[in-house]
Structure 1
Amino acid sequence: MKHKTIGVLGGMGPWATLDFFEKILRLTPAKTDQEHLRVIIDNNPKIPDRSPAIVGTGEDPTPAMVASARTLQQAGADIIVIPCNTAHYFYERVQNAVSIPVLHIMEEVVTTAREEVPSARVLGILATAAAVSSGLYARACARKGIEVVNPDPASQQVVNRAIYAVKGGQVGPEITAGLKKVADGLVGRGAQALVLGCTELPFVLKPQDVPVPLLDSNQILARAAVRFATGVPLPTPT
């Protein structure tokens, strides 16, 4: 079977795009260069910040995102992925601008939660304040009969600081310690699994840091992209 080409609408942010591509490589069942997938990456960190745009205080990123998506399609991509959760606030406008499928990160995460953690009826969401307040995960979860629990305002500030620290290349144990406290708080409020709902967060919070299953949205999106490109279902991680 001929492999399909993955187009990555990246740069939101660059480190998350790097992490996504590494996960594509690790997930691809390849033993030679030629067995790997063709991946076209438009790493455009000049796309305006999504969070201020969502709350009405920043420039609309949609024109830049649409331009990137069209560039990827013209370059030969068969599918587009956006390794940024908050950017999915603008998903419909991007999908409507191209004639190839754009995977939806929230839908992939929630589907994975139902398949891999079927007993989890409540998910704790670690994401940007804009992603949380706009209900991106809440709506996707509701369609699958799953409830969400979000950080309280003080804890959300901790999450936001961690996200922007990673964007600035600043990671360290104090960042992880703060996130672990937030995660523990969500578990204490009933979360039976946690979602890394920002693609910067895998750099600073690992499965061993939390007492419940941790769903990495970047990993899940990469797995869905590889599955689409190869036509081969990937094994469920253990």
Structure 2
Amino acid sequence: MLGVLGGMGPMAAVDFMAKVVRNTPASRDQDHVRMVVCSAADIPDRTAAILGEGADPLPAMRDALRRLEAAGATRIAIPCNTAHHWHAALQAGTPLPILHIVDAVADTLAGPPGAAIGVPATSGTVRAGIYQSRLGLRGYACRIPDDAAQAEVMRAIRLVKAGRLPEATAILRREAEALAAAGCREVVMACTEIPVALAAADGPVRAGLVDATEALARSCVAACRPEAAPVAA
């Protein structure tokens, strides 16, 4: 059973679970991945913690993980890119495998080794080097928005969390287009709020967008599919 350590933010967790459902080949309820979710919206802000401006979220994430273990989860997904800064610490405290969102993304990238990958993400994800280090092991080079563009990405992420999607969409589309124009064949939507805002994006920018949430969902489906229930006699 897939345990979803969510609430970071709540809309992103719902988007992730919907993508798990959509990516599951199923003809009946019993073919779907069993899921249990802890929408722990009280987990302290991850970016603030990484930037030294807020409380450590690790104790609250560990508490949510314990709840998922108690509920019978057999593997864990965290639909929050920034929270993966604490992936190793969380994994060290549980026997359950925690799927890594950047590994899931790396498995979907089409570009050759050395290709520039655009990474619009939270300032916490950027500062922690979550994508730079993990994709670097696969031979990719990450292109991060400059300071002014990064401030705009963060503003858009906050707008998504506040439910102001049209404003966020305009900003994020512009920043994705700028990364593509700078030579990035693929642009990873490396914050789980970004795919929510760009769900209806079309035109040339659409082809190069890589949805980290979708990649994690597909990875979870592949990992959990053997758990599908047998057909009743």
Q: Does 1:185 align with 2:175?
A: no
Q: Secondary structure at the match of 2:108?
A: helix
Query: CA–CA distance in 1 between the matches of 2:111 and 2:172?
Result: 22
Q: Does 1:198 align with 2:194?
A: no
In the other structure, the counterpart of 2:121 is 127
From 35, 38, 50, the equivalent of 2:34 is: 38
* 1:188 CA displacement: 2.2
In the other structure, the counterpart of 2:230 is none
Contact 2:84-2:100 within 8 A present in 1 as well: yes
* 1:120 CA displacement: 7.5
From 214, 224, 233, the equivalent of 2:219 is: 224
Q: Does 1:137 align with 2:131?
A: yes
* 1:208 CA displacement: 2.1
Query: CA–CA distance in 2 between the matches of 1:78 and 1:151?
Result: 37
TM-score (norm 1): 0.90
* 1:32 CA displacement: 1.6
Contact 2:6-2:39 within 8 A present in 1 as well: yes
Unaligned 5+ runs, structure 2: 228-233
Contact 1:108-1:220 within 8 A present in 2 as well: yes
Q: Secondary structure at the match of 1:127?
A: coil
Contact 1:12-1:84 within 8 A present in 2 as well: yes
Per-residue Cα deviation, 1:125-158 (whole angstroms, up to 9, x for no partner): 0100111122111001110111011111111111
In the other structure, the counterpart of 2:92 is 96
In the other structure, the counterpart of 2:157 is 163
RMSD: 1.7
Query: CA–CA distance in 2 between the matches of 1:147 and 1:32?
Result: 42
Contact 1:120-1:193 within 8 A present in 2 as well: no
Per-residue Cα deviation, 1:46-101 (whole angstroms, up to 9, x for no partner): 00010110111101000011111122122111100000000001111111111010
In the other structure, the counterpart of 1:79 is 75
TM-score (norm 2): 0.91
Q: In percent, how many aligned pairs have the same letter?
A: 41
Query: CA–CA distance in 1 between the matches of 2:9 and 2:168?
Result: 18
Contact 1:16-1:200 within 8 A present in 2 as well: yes
Give the number of aligned pairs: 225
Contact 1:50-1:86 within 8 A present in 2 as well: yes
* 1:213 CA displacement: 1.6
Query: CA–CA distance in 2 between the matches of 1:110 and 1:46?
Result: 30
Query: CA–CA distance in 2 between the matches of 1:21 and 1:45?
Result: 16
